[in-house]
Structure 1
Amino acid sequence: MTTFGPDVVAAVRRHMNDDHADDCLLICRGLGGQPRATAARMSGMDDEAMEFVATVDDVAVPVRIPFRDRLTERRQIRAEAARMYRDACAELGVTPRPEAS
């Protein structure tokens, strides 16, 4: 059983895709094993991972990236997404935005 209901997942997905599309791509490139991805969208999540669909060579590729720890509260989602972004930037040699630090 997942900790987060469909309304929470939909809100997080909408926020990530509308406000952080570039971050989704960096996360899939840096942490999701898809360095050649040209686009990515968050497709879902549960308490253990965030899921994306990355476009690689014009093919939609599912990508599941585990959280560092199992999430038990909604407030943890933002912190974990920011951590994933920072880790992906570090992996790719990209300077993260100051507010994501």
Structure 2
Amino acid sequence: MTHLFDDAVLAGVLGHMNGDHGDDNLLIARAFAADAGIAADRIVASRMEGFDGDGGRWTVTLADGSTAVVAVPWPGGPIDERPQVRREVVALYDEACRRLGVEPRPHA
């Protein structure tokens, strides 16, 4: 069964990702867009809208103004604890950089 995080965890992670990592959201969405049947170059904006134990979801805005969802499973498999969310988002960022040929920044 998919683990559902409580509202406080969701708000904390989403607030951090959307407030401090907007560029990372765009990078992740573009890197995994093909998995959702979307051409990466059509994505002009991305916002992390949710996550659960199976993966994260980004709502993307396309060049024509429409929106779509890019859902990405966690690279390490299902999770059920808040610290694992950070680990998996960092892994998604690293994989996004690899897929797009971008040099990843160091992780603190």
In the superposition, the TM-score normalised over structure 2's length comes to 0.86
Gaps of 5+ in 2: none
| Runs of 4 or more above 6 Å deviation | none
> Which residue of 2 is the match for residue 65 of structure 1?
72
Does the alignment pair 1:48 with 2:50?
Answer: no
Distance 2:4 2:78 in 1: 10
Query: How much does 1:7 deviate?
Result: 1.4
Query: How much does 1:9 deviate?
Result: 0.9
> Which residue of 2 is the match for residue 81 of structure 1?
89
Total equivalences in the alignment? 100
Amino acid at match of 1:56: L
Query: How much does 1:97 deviate?
Result: 0.6
Q: CA RMSD in A?
A: 1.4
In the superposition, the TM-score normalised over structure 1's length comes to 0.91
Distance 2:3 2:89 in 1: 18
Query: How much does 1:22 deviate?
Result: 0.3
SS in structure 2 at match of 1:38: strand
Of all paired residues, the percent bearing the same amino acid is 38
Distance 1:79 1:72 in 2: 12
Per-residue Cα deviation, 1:9-36 (whole angstroms, up to 9, x for no partner):
1111110000101000000001232412
Moved more, 29-38 or 59-68: 29-38
Per-residue Cα deviation, 1:55-91 (whole angstroms, up to 9, x for no partner):
1122111111111210121111111100000100100
Does the alignment pair 1:30 with 2:31?
Answer: yes
Query: How much does 1:2 deviate?
Result: 2.7
The question of whether the paired residues in 1 share the 8 Å contact of 2:48 and 2:58 is answered with yes
